[in-house]
Amino acid sequence: MKKSLLALAVLGAFSGAAMAQSSVQLYGIIDLGVAHYSNGSGSVTKLGTGIQSGSRIGVKGTEDLGGGLSAFFDAETGFCANGGTGSPNTSNVGPYCTGGPGGQGFMGRQAFAGLKGNFGAVSFGRQYTLTFVDQANIDPFGYGLTGTISNIGTIGAPARASQSMIYQSPNFSGFNVAGMYVFGDGLGLTTATTTQTTGAYNLHAGYNNGPIMVGLDYLRVNSNSGNPTNKHTMIVGSYDFGVAKLAGMYAQNQLGSATGVSGDKLDVWMLGATVPVGPGAILASYTAEKDKTTAGLGAKQYAIGYTYSLSKRTNLYTSYAHISNDSGQNYIVGDATGNNDAPVVGTGFTSSGFALGIRHQF
């Protein structure tokens, strides 16, 4: 009996040590707000979900493997916190808000695993692109609210990619580099006659130390013929003065086709500011896009917003954005999950959006 008790005690000690070296966390965001969108002559007022940040639930964890090596994972799904749209007890956007950027099915926001150590980190699965991460970091609206840079500023750069591999270097006194490779099947580049192995690749170099952040990114996305559908080059930067944080971006997107013919060349730039005010902050940005190949396809957006922290996990927000389209363009004001479903007719119209809501993180 004593031997059995001793064995159980030893087993419990080892089990406790193993648990101390591992962690698993359930987390999520519930974001709801009243929003009004107007696109030319069409408008809609609604209870939106995922205005500042896409409503989500996920599970992530790490395991210490010893010798400075650890494993990590993250699996995250979007959901419609407002119950979706359509008639009562139904939804026309799917059970996981798959109608917008909130996800592509169950655990479709992110799903990856990897290893990290003194060499840096490698991860595999569905992940944010390196270009998206830099855009979200310098956007005063954090890629959300009605002022999100994604309304016109991303000019075709995808936020996530399936079947991807990422390497991220250690931090060298603020300097860092990263690379991302996406298999063609992850972008659907498979036909009855062709399978394109390389779907995309994304390169990043940056500096982030103290008040300064600078990033340089290059993203190439292929068609099923191997020719680029777009080549996206971007530089971003920000400086935190304490009383205000200023940020800027310049990006260039060279469109292409499966036949290898070059398409339009697009330029976009953004200037923004975040001004702390008490427990909150005032947000502002101005974004402009110009099509250097075809006239009449540009657009301009100005946006202003305010967030107020009730606690470390809960905040209130409000924001307003306005887009002026050139004669041939039809961009609309959206938010973190593309809530603008007001009618869109023709081109050259103005679009605006206003939102007031609450976000809780757990």
Q: Give the pLDDT confidence of 171-224 residue by residue, as tens digits.
A: 999 999 999 999 988 887 877 777 888 989 999 999 999 999 999 999 999 988
**Which residue has 């002559």 as its token pair?**
41
273: three-class secondary structure by DSSP: strand
| Residue 233 and residue 137 in contact, taking contact as beta carbons nearer than 8 Å | no
| Residue 48 and residue 357 in contact, taking contact as beta carbons nearer than 8 Å | yes
Question: What mean pLDDT, rounded, does the chain reach?
Answer: 89
The Cβ of residue 347 has, within 10 Å, a number of other Cβ atoms equal to: 15
Question: What is the CA angle 362-117-19, rounded to 5?
Answer: 50
Q: What is the DSSP letter of 130?
A: H
Between the CA of residue 339 and those of 44, 83, 155, 285, what are the distances in Å?
10, 13, 19, 20
Between the CA of residue 222 and those of 4, 104, 255, 266, what are the distances in Å?
63, 21, 11, 18
What pLDDT, in 10s, does the model give residues 277-330? 999 999 999 999 999 999 999 999 999 999 999 999 999 999 999 999 999 999
Residue 90 confidence (pLDDT): 44
Cα separation of 26 and 70, whole Å? 19
Domain 25-361 - what CATH class?
mainly beta
pTM of the model: 0.87
CB-neighbour burial class of residue 333 (10 A; exposed 0-12, middle 13-18, buried 19+) = buried
Within 8 A by CB and 6+ apart from 92, the residues are: 84, 85, 86, 99
pLDDT-based confidence at residue 94 (cuts at 50, 70, 90): very low
Cα separation of 200 and 188, whole Å? 11
Residue 227 confidence (pLDDT): 85
State yes or no: pLDDT of 103 exceeds 50.
Answer: no
Within 8 A by CB and 6+ apart from 262, the residues are: 254, 255, 256
Question: Could you give the residue ranges of the DSSP H alpha helices within 65-182?
Answer: 130-138
Find, among 349, 341, 348, the residue nearest to 35 by Cα.
341
Q: Which amino acid is at 100?
A: G
Find, among 145, 143, 50, the residue nearest to 99 by Cα.
50
Residue 7 confidence (pLDDT): 46
Residue 97 confidence (pLDDT): 63
Instruction: Report CA 344 to chain centroid distance, whole Å.
Output: 25
Question: What is the CA angle 153-224-292, rounded to 5?
Answer: 35
3-state DSSP helix/strand/coil % of the chain, to nearest 5: 10, 55, 35
